[in-house]
Amino acid sequence: MEENENLFERLSMMFKIGGEETKELINAGYITPDLFTTKKTEDFKRTFIETYKDKTLHALRETSDTREAMKRVGLTRFIAFLVMCDELAYEGYLEKTEEGKYKVK
């Protein structure tokens, strides 16, 4: 599971151009040599979010503590959880109340 979290986080954040991590993402088909994301990236991120969406919404109904919600969902990488919550807020499932804080709409 942490491997998926790590990849989700890496694909959601800026990566060092020319770094080893960038080469790995290019070789795995997640980004192009011009540093554009591919359909594989979008599919992976969508699947990741869909996998954890219901658990995230349930956890955030039970607690306003974002880190506690992340633990209840079963994730360990806080940045990955925040990026997912930002996407769920964009999609209208969550409301961002302040930086790093969310509530279910």
Domain that holds residue 13: 2-104
CATH number at residue 17: 1.10.10
Residue 23 scores a pLDDT above 60: yes
| Confidence (pLDDT) at 2 | 60
| Confidence (pLDDT) at 1 | 54
Q: Mind spelling out the 3-state secondary structure of the chain?
A: CHHHHHHHHHHHCCCCCCCHHHHHHHHCCCECCCCCECHHHHHHHHHHHHHHHHHHHHHHHHCCCHHHHHHHHCCCCHHHHHHHHHHHHHCCCEEEEECCEEEEC
pLDDT tens digits, 40-93: 999 999 999 999 999 999 999 999 999 999 999 999 999 999 999 999 999 999
CB 52 within 8 A of CB 72: no
Q: Domain count of the chain? A: 1
Give the integer Cα–Cα distance in Å for 35 and 32.
5
Residue 20 scores a pLDDT above 90: no
Residue 33 scores a pLDDT above 80: yes
| Confidence (pLDDT) at 65 | 95
- Mean pLDDT, range 17-33, rounded to an integer: 86
- Token pair for 69: 């919600």
